[in-house]
Amino acid sequence: MTDISRLRRDSRVVHAGQHGDPRTGAVSVPIVQSSTFRFQNADQGADRFAGRDSGPIYTRIGNPTIQALEEAVALLEGGCGAMAAATGMAAVNTVYFGLLSQGDHIVCTEALYGPSRTVLETQYSRFGVESTFVDSTDPENVRKAMRPNTRLVYLETPANPTLALTDLKACTEIAHAGGALVCVDNTFATPLLQRPLEFGCDLVLHSMTKYINGHTDVVAGIVVAKEEALYKRLLGVHRNLGGTMDPHQAWLVHRGLRTLHLRVERAQSNAMEIARYLEAHPKVDWVRFPGLESHPQHALAQRQMDGPGAVMSFGVTGGLEAGKTVIDNVQLMTLAVSLGGIETLIEHPASMTHAGISKAEKAAAGISDDLVRLAVGCEDVDDLKDDLARVLDMI
């Protein structure tokens, strides 16, 4: 069989983790829908529990269908191993729970996915974990936030929903100098457009609900580790917390993954055209999209990413009420949270995905009331522009 790791990007996406079924000749990875697995004898069972035999034991601990997906994403991210999770937040909590103890400190990107921040402030704080949220677009802010007890620097770039970028190499050097590990939420970029482990980061995670699955029909998450020791450290935590994946869920996500390059390229192309359209529109006050020269970190995007992605934020003249008019009256676009599906979604983060964050914290993170987030899909771009033109004419 061809060494998948030696193939070019698009071929890796199609073939990663796809071993088929040698018994039947099935081309697609089979769904091994079994909770438990029979041992040939007591010695084999003992060997599997001791780690001397890599065969399956119990689906919470490992399953061939799930392992095929984990192998594929680890390969695309350049990691040594991956842990597929039931949801994106299950992946986030595997990292938090596995690396943070009472008295520890975490430094995070300020404009962070709402629940990733909220769970630190409302749950982990109960057990003595301290959190500091900074504008990580300036690495000096990360440096200033570091403490002797900082164990983890958790970055999200591009950030949700501000599309702010963080210099991964610079922040990783700062974190490592302070004895902390670095985890990056790479959901917006996908491994096609950004691979944090190549910049020295220790962990990367995804809400696979978004681009990796890509069809708005499954929730899932994954954590990828760069080094074997860290992978093993988190693997036991992940299995024992119980936020592991179901084999049918894994099969659906893996099926979606195989068209990731096609979907991302089309959505990104659409997004670039729409961003330029919005930026030129007289009723749009501002647009944040890494592909635009007006983005304050456009140069970093070109250096760190292989493309700007397909999510943008913008504000319309008239503020919140005008923005509500836009999102309430689109017809082709769908008013819904999430992103990364083949359809275009539009939402209002301040009152929806980030509603649990205080007004002051939202303001500090740049999540203004007039911010509208647009996750561009794979429709005909002219139809999308027609939909925007119609609603913008209403304000």
211 noted as active-site residue: no
pLDDT exceeds cutoff 90 at 287: yes
Question: How far is Cα 268 from Cα 257, in angstroms, rounded to an integer?
Answer: 16
The mean-pLDDT minimum among 67-81, 204-218, 360-374 falls in 360-374
The second-level CATH assignment, the architecture, of 8-257 is 3-Layer(aba) Sandwich (3.40)
Helix (H) or strand (E) holding 155: strand 150-156
- Position 282 scores a pLDDT of 96
- Phi, psi dihedrals of residue 102, rounded to the nearest 5°: -55, 130
| CA 211 to chain CA mean position, Å | 8
Strand partners, 107: 132, 153
Contacts of 22 (CB under 8 A, 6+ apart): none
Average model confidence (pLDDT) across the chain = 95
State pLDDT tens for residues 238-255.
999 999 999 999 999 999
Question: H helices of 80-159, where?
Answer: 88-99, 114-122, 139-145
pLDDT exceeds cutoff 80 at 362: no
- Position 352 scores a pLDDT of 75
393 noted as active-site residue: no
Helix (H) or strand (E) holding 84: strand 81-85
60 noted as active-site residue: yes
pLDDT exceeds cutoff 80 at 305: yes
Question: How far is Cα 346 from Cα 355, in angstroms, rounded to an integer?
Answer: 16
Report whether 114 contacts 353 (CB < 8 A): yes
- Position 179 scores a pLDDT of 98
Question: H helices of the chain, where?
Answer: 9-15, 42-50, 64-77, 88-99, 114-122, 139-145, 168-177, 190-193, 228-241, 247-257, 260-280, 298-304, 319-329, 359-365, 381-392
- Position 76 scores a pLDDT of 97
Percent of the chain with pLDDT over 90: 84
Instruction: Give per-residue burial for 289-310: e unless 16+ CB within 10 Å, then b.
Output: bbbbeebebbebbeebbbbbbb
* Tokens matching residue 188: 């917006």
pLDDT exceeds cutoff 60 at 355: yes
The second-level CATH assignment, the architecture, of 260-392 is Alpha-Beta Complex (3.90)
185 noted as active-site residue: yes
Q: Where are the domains of the chain?
A: 8-257, 260-392
Residues 12, 210, 226, 288: which is the catalytic one? Answer: 210
CA atoms within 13 A of residue 57's CA, in its CB half-sphere: 16
Assign 204 a pLDDT band (cuts: 50, 70, 90): very high
pLDDT exceeds cutoff 80 at 24: yes
- Position 1 scores a pLDDT of 57
Residues 185, 202, 246, 387: which is the catalytic one? Answer: 185
Question: How far is Cα 75 from Cα 83, in angstroms, rounded to an integer?
Answer: 13
Q: What is the mean pLDDT of residues 285-289?
A: 97
Residues 12, 104, 113, 370: which is the catalytic one? Answer: 113
Residues 58, 60, 239, 277: which is the catalytic one? Answer: 60
Q: What is the mean pLDDT of residues 366-383?
A: 92
8-257 and 260-392: identical CATH topology? no
